[in-house]
């Protein structure tokens, strides 16, 4: 009997999942911002783009930064994580959430954990990361080919 090594998911599949996760999470975040429920002063990806480039930018630039970031981490998960379980996807989401709190928020001037804006940024930033983990796992598992184990 010949055994074959498991193959990595294709680049197009991994990138497609990343873009889908990016679009779905962006829709939720923008909807919450538009109805006035979001406590963020502006979308975090737009705040980062403006900080990086040193000037005010239109929303599409922030969405582009969001898409690149989310797609990158989605590709890392889909192509390179050996165990693609729900706890693993949620673990990645949790690690990225902590990075946002202790690195990203201070860089954009919102303080450690966003506390310069207010403590509400802590749970508000956890929600999209939870959604990221759930969508990433679900799309990897159920869309286009055999995904997780």
Give the rounded percent of residues in the chain with a pLDDT score beyond 90: 83
For the chain, the average pLDDT equals 92
The pLDDT-based confidence of 3 (bands split at 50, 70, 90) is low
pLDDT in tens, 17-67: 999 999 999 999 999 988 988 899 999 999 999 999 999 999 999 999 999
The pLDDT-based confidence of 120 (bands split at 50, 70, 90) is very high
Q: Shortest CA distance to 66 belongs to which of 51, 49, 78?
A: 49
pLDDT in tens, 75-85: 999 999 999 99
Considering the entire predicted model, what is its pTM?
0.89
Average pLDDT on 4-19 reads: 83
Q: What is the pLDDT of residue 36?
A: 87
Q: Which long-range contacts (CB under 8 A, 24 or more apart) does 96-102 make?
A: 96/129, 96/132, 97/125, 97/126, 97/129, 100/44, 100/125, 100/129, 101/125
DSSP designation for 104: I
d(CA 110, CA 114): 5
């Amino acid at each position: 009997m010949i055994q074959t090594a498991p193959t990595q998911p294709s680049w197009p599949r991994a990138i497609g999942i990343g873009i889908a996760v990016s679009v779905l999470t962006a829709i939720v975040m923008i909807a919450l911002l538009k109805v006035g429920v979001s406590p963020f002063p502006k979308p975090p990806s737009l705040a980062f783009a403006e900080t990086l480039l040193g000037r005010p930018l239109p929303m599409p630039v922030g969405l582009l930064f969001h898409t690149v970031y989310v797609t990158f981490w989605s590709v890392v998960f889909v192509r390179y994580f050996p165990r693609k379980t729900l706890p693993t996807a949620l673990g990645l989401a949790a690690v990225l959430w902590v990075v946002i709190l202790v690195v990203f928020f201070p860089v954009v001037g919102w303080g450690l954990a966003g506390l310069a804006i207010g403590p509400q940024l802590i749970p508000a930033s956890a929600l999209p990361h939870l959604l990221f983990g759930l969508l990433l796992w679900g799309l990897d598992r159920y869309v286009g080919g055999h995904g997780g184990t």
